[in-house]
Amino acid sequence: MLLIRTSIALFLIILSTFFLLSADTKVDLQSQSRLPQSDSVSPSKQLALKYCSSCHLFPEPSLLDKKAWTDKVLPNMGWRLGIRKKGDDPYADIVPEERALVQKLNIYPDVATITQSDWKKIIAYFEHEAPEEPLPQQNHDSISGTLALFSPKQIVFDDKQLPRTTMLKFDSASNELYAGDGQSKLYILNNNFGFKSAWNVESPPVDIDFPNSEPPQLLTVGSISPSDQKNGRLVTFDTTFTIQNPPVNIDHLPRPVQFAHADLDMDGKQDAIVCGFGNNTGKLAWYSDCKIDGENILSNMPGARKVEIGDFNKDGKPDIMVLMAQAWEEVVIWYNQGKGKFKEKKLLRFPPVFGVSYFELADFNKDGYPDILLTNGDNWDYSRINKNYHGVRIYLNDGKYNFKEHWFFPLYGASKAIARDFDNDGDIDIAAISFYNTLENPANGFVYFSNEGNLDFKPASLPDAAAGKWLTMEAADFDHDGDIDIVLGSYFHNIEEMSSLVNIVNISSFPQLLVLNNETQ
């Protein structure tokens, strides 16, 4: 679906952005405490219902506290509806090269699409109904501070003031770990995490794949920070300097974050599916034969975060499952119809403050159908508060690719979770990281969930996890001893962020990586 730019369509899109809430979520807003309603606010509620319920379910104001609504979210929404107070400049904090792009997209229209009177009533409703403070997390098992399964080891392979690890990917064929860095570098380590080589690249690496009998393909993001500039690239990574013209060189990508390979058009050649996350605009596209002129756009919406490939309807053709973030948060399957055509089916939909950050597939209940492991905790938006609905979730597949939430563990800032049988007991366990948290309990930046059977998970962490902010995570049997190890990659935005961590915990060293060696006997 193309990004619509007319004022009326923009109005509907913005309403869906801020008022979208699906019955598929397990945020039980009806059971959460709310301020009592009175006759004085009912017209405001009716007005809000009128504008959003025609397309979507109505969101409870309890998703955010009063201050977040009135100081951050609603003012920005007002700008997007053409409502500005005297002296307001929506572009004040946008760098010049981004400002022109945002103005061209008409994100902040000059002409109001709602009356001042109606807008004030909507503000009054949310201001009255929202809680004074963010609602607390539901009761859950406490996270144990002891984790005997893993032995931690800090790794530093370059003299950097700030760790800024943007990617971790292990190549089992070469026994090498590839680590991306925010300063546009790519490091190659051996399976003992010893330094082998370093490479300057165009922009920070975020993903890499290792096709059989071919050089790796590297994805660079363009900009780690939110941006509408198209400076990302998917390119053959040649360490031999023997390739004159890279066989893969797809540029002008909108802030891509992940890609995958599959023969989608079934011509015997691998195609590339690229998640162009973008910012206000983005792109989910696949490239026939990994060529830039073979582009096929599935969606021009921003927020494509991760794809999984599989023959989900068992018709012999590879389908695409994708996690979409940003305002239009959802999990979608694109069913392969053949001849390069795809049909979309929405599996899960979430409110825009849900903060989906990662997903992967695993058969948790051993029924032969892939279930969804999902994290939501992205807090880089207009409401940087603790949200009681952020955490790690399992959605079980009913065999017809209808998904229902079965398990939820609240974890502020949850950014990634992976499903593996770490303790070799036949059940799938979970390892999760929390990057978008407020550093109140840094050790919980990594949490291991041991599956005790019947999807009963016991959470644990370890003190060494307090030594970083873990943006990336990879799992593999690095030491070839028959169990799965974990490596975490740390990323600090600035010295102030690192200093705040020093003030909380008694730690003086901040490694680039933390290796968790599996001690399963």
Return the closest-CA partner of residue 63 out of 390, 506, 287, 404. 390
Domain boundaries, the chain: 47-129, 144-163+354-520, 201-349
In our burial notation (b when 16+ CB lie closer than 10 A, e otherwise), range 143-161 reads beeebebbebebbebeebe
**What is the reported pLDDT for 502?**
80
Cα–Cα distance for residue pair 184/203, rounded to 1 Å: 5
Q: Residue 56 corresponds to which tokens in the numbers above? A: 């979507």
User: What would the pLDDT profile of 14-43 be if each residue is shown by its tens digit?
Assistant: 343 433 333 343 444 333 333 334 444 468
Q: How far apart are the first and last CA of the chain?
A: 52
**What is the reported pLDDT for 357?**
97
3-state helix/strand/coil string of 368-424: CCCEEEEEECCCCCCCCCCCCCCEEEEEEECCCCCEEEEEEEECCCEEEEEEECCCC
**What is the reported pLDDT for 50?**
63
**What is the reported pLDDT for 158?**
87
- Planar angle of CA 328, 332, 335, nearest 5 degrees: 145
| Dihedral-angle region of residue 136 (phi above 0 means left; psi in -120 to 50 means alpha; beta otherwise) | beta
Calculate the dihedral angle through the C-alpha atoms of 280, 286, 287, 290, rounding to the nearest 10 degrees: 110
Residue 124 three-state SS: helix
Query: Amino acid letter at 469?
Result: K
User: What would the pLDDT profile of 331-365 be if each residue is shown by its tens digit?
Assistant: 999 999 999 999 999 999 998 889 999 999 999 99
DSSP class per residue in 320-345: EEEEE-TTS-EEEEEEEEETTEEEEE
**What is the reported pLDDT for 435?**
93
**Which residue ranges in the chain fall short of pLDDT 70?**
1-42, 49-59, 241-242, 244
**Centroid of chain to Cα 243:** 34
Q: Residue 462 corresponds to which tokens in the numbers above? A: 């370890």
**What is the reported pLDDT for 20?**
35
Q: Residue 454 corresponds to which tokens in the numbers above? A: 């019947």
Please say whether the beta carbons of 78 and 71 come within 8 A.
Answer: no
Cα–Cα distance for residue pair 124/14, rounded to 1 Å: 19
